[in-house]
Chain A
Amino acid sequence: MISVAQIFLLSLAVLAMGVAVLWFRQRKIGSMAFLLWLFLWGGLALVVLFPESAVVLAHLLGISKATDLALYLSVILILFLLFRVYVRLEQVDREITQIVRAVALREAGLGLPETGHGGEKDQPGRQPHE
């Protein structure tokens, strides 16, 4: 017999997977994120349908309670996501530096001409110091 909670969680999982498929098709998320998302919600759906499977899995991993397993998994997931945000932030930081650098060099009269190929052979005209 399926309970109300089970129906609710199942529809949530189906909805989330549907959204993931949609985003993946629209190329809003990469294939890695897509698979991870599918795997997570698929796993949740499985556990909701067959609650016993969580207990079996927990015991296999040497964890006594299924809720403990869920707790550990969510902490690992959150740490992973946090790390990804950190890496992304670092990338953005480096991109900002590239912009700031380009502006600084141009302002100092050391910018490359718009048509240049980025080589230093172009020897851009230096402006005299202000």
Chain B
Amino acid sequence: MKLAVVIPAYNEEFAIGQVIQQVMAVDLPGVEKEIIVVNDGSRDKTGDIARSKGALVVRHLLNRGVGGALGTGIEAALRSGADVVVTCDADGQHSPDDIGRVIEPIRSGRADAVVGSRMIDPGGMPWTRRVANHLANLATWIILGVSTTDSQSGLRAFSRSAAKRIRITTNKYEVCSEISGEVKRLHLRSIDIPIKTIYTEYSLSKGQGFRVGLKTLFRLILSKLVKQS
């Protein structure tokens, strides 16, 4: 079985090397791993570092945002023949051991899509983030009609057929909710699996703050009004 781990990265030179090493070190018997880093127009050494660590680097000439990068990464994974696609943040907030846990329901055929949920067991999550994530879940439910325990999670897994059918059109953080909406629209079997979150000063500085969160909400509403091209 071929697993592609898609990591969208924008100016992540401090974290990307370690993230790739950790993902490579994860022991998954019977799984051929490929790491695909989408260098989303970074101005630092993100691309060089990722390449030197053995990842396949797909380079965006312009910064498009996490949604645009995910779309490219998933397409690259499909074209290189992946059977299972995992998306993973580049800031080191996910525990690489959780990759095995999120792909398990797909390997065993129990699910087409898996959300690594930070909110089932949110120990260690700052309360501001906890509140923000609850609000994001509420907004996703109101706008897209999708109920999920963690609408903003970056760690997700998809079967090949699911990844092929999901259409990503948004460019920025609203992509997280968009994917949840797609899972519902396509009637994919989806499971939420509890994952750990590693909150460091660095990963906190990289996530969505209050202002970006509001922007994401606005863009999510807007995306419902834009014609799909």
Residues in A lying within 8 Å of B, measured CB to CB: 86-87, 90-91, 93-97, 100-101, 103-105, 107-108, 110, 112, 120, 123-124, 126, 129-130
Chain B residue with Cβ nearest A112: B79
CB contact between A101 and one of B71, B78, B219 (< 8 Å): that residue: B71
CB contact between A97 and one of B68, B78, B222 (< 8 Å): that residue: B68
Are B222 and A104 interface neighbours, CB within 8 A? no
Closest Cβ of chain B: how far from A38's Cβ, in Å? 24
Across-interface contacts of A97 in B (CB, < 8 A): 64, 68, 71, 171
Across-interface contacts of B71 in A (CB, < 8 A): 97, 101
B58 is an interface residue with CB less than 8 A from chain A: yes
Are B80 and A87 interface neighbours, CB within 8 A? no
Are A108 and B56 interface neighbours, CB within 8 A? yes
Q: How far is the CA of A103 from the CA of B78 in the complex (A)?
A: 16
B142 is an interface residue with CB less than 8 A from chain A: no
Closest Cβ of chain A: how far from B156's Cβ, in Å? 19
| A-B pairs with beta carbons under 8 A, tally | 71
Closest Cβ of chain B: how far from A2's Cβ, in Å? 44
Across-interface contacts of A104 in B (CB, < 8 A): 38, 58-61, 72, 76
Q: How far is the CA of A86 from the CA of B219 in the complex (A)?
A: 10
Across-interface contacts of A129 in B (CB, < 8 A): 51, 54, 56
Are A93 and B57 interface neighbours, CB within 8 A? no
Are B80 and A94 interface neighbours, CB within 8 A? no
Across-interface contacts of A96 in B (CB, < 8 A): 62, 64
Are A100 and B64 interface neighbours, CB within 8 A? yes
Q: How far is the CA of A129 from the CA of B48 in the complex (A)?
A: 12
B187 is an interface residue with CB less than 8 A from chain A: no
Are A87 and B222 interface neighbours, CB within 8 A? yes
From known contacts A94-B229, A95-B229, infer whether A105 and B76 are also in contact, taking CB-CB under 8 Å. Answer: yes
Chain A residue with Cβ nearest B79: A110
From known contacts A105-B72, A105-B75, A123-B81, infer whether A100 and B222 are also in contact, taking CB-CB under 8 Å. Answer: no
